[in-house]
Amino acid sequence: MEAPSDFEIASGVLKIDLGALGRNYLALKHLCGPAEVAAVVKADAYGLGAEPVARTLRSFGCRRFFVALPEEGRKLRPSVPDAQIYVLSGPRSAGVWPLLHAHDLIPVLNSTADIESCRQFAPDRLPVAIHVDTGMNRLGLTPSEALEFLTANSASREIDVQLLMSHLACADEPSHPLNQTQQREFMRLAQAFPDIDTSLANSAGIMLGSDYTGKITRPGIALYGGLDLPGLAPVATALARILQIRKGRAGSTVGYGGAAGLNRDTRIAVAGLGYADGLHRAASGAGIPARADRSEGAFGYVGGRRAPLLGRISMDLTAFDITDLGPDAVRVGDFIEMFGPNIGIAEFARSAKTIPYEILTGVGRRYHRVYPGGNVEARPNGQDEGAIRASNLVFGRRSAPAR
Instruction: Tell me the catalytic residues.
Output: 42, 256
| CB distance 355 to 349 below 8 Å | yes
Q: Give whichever of 67 and 322 is closer to ligand PLP, judged by the CB atom.
A: 67
Question: What minimum distance in Å lies between the beta carbon of 38 and ligand PLP?
Answer: 9
Between CA 159 and CA 97 the distance in angstroms is: 14
**Count of residues that bind ligand PLP according to CB under 6 A:** 12
Q: Give whichever of 38 and 254 is closer to ligand PLP, judged by the CB atom.
A: 38
Q: Give whichever of 214 and 272 is closer to ligand PLP, judged by the CB atom.
A: 214
Q: Give whichever of 86 and 275 is closer to ligand PLP, judged by the CB atom.
A: 86
* DSSP code for 83: S
Q: Give whichever of 11 and 202 is closer to ligand PLP, judged by the CB atom.
A: 202
Interaction mask 144-183, ligand PLP, x per CB under 6 A: -----------------------x----------------
Question: What minimum distance in Å lies between the beta carbon of 174 and ligand PLP?
Answer: 14
Question: What minimum distance in Å lies between the beta carbon of 148 and ligand PLP?
Answer: 22
Instruction: Write the CB contacts of 383 (distance below 8 Å, at least 6 apart in sequence).
Output: none
202 binds ligand PLP (CB under 6 A): yes
Instruction: Write the CB contacts of 336 (distance below 8 Å, at least 6 apart in sequence).
Output: 239, 240, 242, 269, 271, 300, 301, 302, 307, 320, 330
Cα→Cα distances 395→141, 230, 254, 372, Å = 30, 11, 45, 30
* DSSP code for 401: P
Question: What minimum distance in Å lies between the beta carbon of 68 and ligand PLP?
Answer: 7
Q: Give whichever of 13 and 221 is closer to ligand PLP, judged by the CB atom.
A: 221
What is the C-alpha end-to-end distance of the chain, expressed in Å?
51
Name which position in 221, 273, 330, 360 contacts ligand PLP (CB under 6 A). Answer: 221
Name which position in 18, 53, 88, 400 contacts ligand PLP (CB under 6 A). Answer: 88
Q: What is the footprint of ligand PLP within residues 38-77 (CB under 6 A)? A: 40, 42
Name which position in 12, 19, 140, 219 contacts ligand PLP (CB under 6 A). Answer: 219
Which helix (DSSP H) or strand (DSSP E) does residue 183 occupy? helix 177-192
Closest by alpha carbon to 75, among 59, 53, 94? Answer: 53
| CB distance 38 to 65 below 8 Å | yes
Q: Give whichever of 135 and 219 is closer to ligand PLP, judged by the CB atom.
A: 219
Between CA 69 and CA 381 the distance in angstroms is: 36
User: Among the candidate windows 156-164, 219-227, 268-276, 367-375, which touches ligand PLP by CB under 6 A?
Assistant: 219-227
User: Among the candidate windows 97-105, 212-220, 238-246, 387-395, which touches ligand PLP by CB under 6 A?
Assistant: 212-220
User: Among the candidate windows 16-24, 29-37, 150-158, 214-222, which touches ligand PLP by CB under 6 A?
Assistant: 214-222
Between CA 312 and CA 290 the distance in angstroms is: 11
Between CA 226 and CA 220 the distance in angstroms is: 9
Question: What minimum distance in Å lies between the beta carbon of 231 and ligand PLP?
Answer: 16
Sheet with strand 84-87: strands edge to edge:
36-37, 216-217, 197-199, 161-165, 128-131, 105-109, 84-87, 64-67, 39-40
218 binds ligand PLP (CB under 6 A): yes
| Residue at shortest CB range from ligand PLP | 220
Name which position in 24, 134, 198, 203 contacts ligand PLP (CB under 6 A). Answer: 203
Question: What minimum distance in Å lies between the beta carbon of 227 and ligand PLP?
Answer: 8
317 binds ligand PLP (CB under 6 A): no
User: Among the candidate windows 145-153, 196-204, 279-287, 386-394, which touches ligand PLP by CB under 6 A?
Assistant: 196-204
Please state at what angle helix 18-32 crosses helix 50-59, rounded to 10 degrees: 50
Closest by alpha carbon to 276, among 351, 367, 368, 371? Answer: 367
Q: Is 135 helix (H, G, I), strand (E, B) or coil?
A: coil
Question: What minimum distance in Å lies between the beta carbon of 25 and ligand PLP?
Answer: 12
Q: Give whichever of 222 and 307 is closer to ligand PLP, judged by the CB atom.
A: 222
Q: Which residues bind ligand PLP (CB under 6 A)?
A: 40, 42, 88, 167, 202-204, 218-222
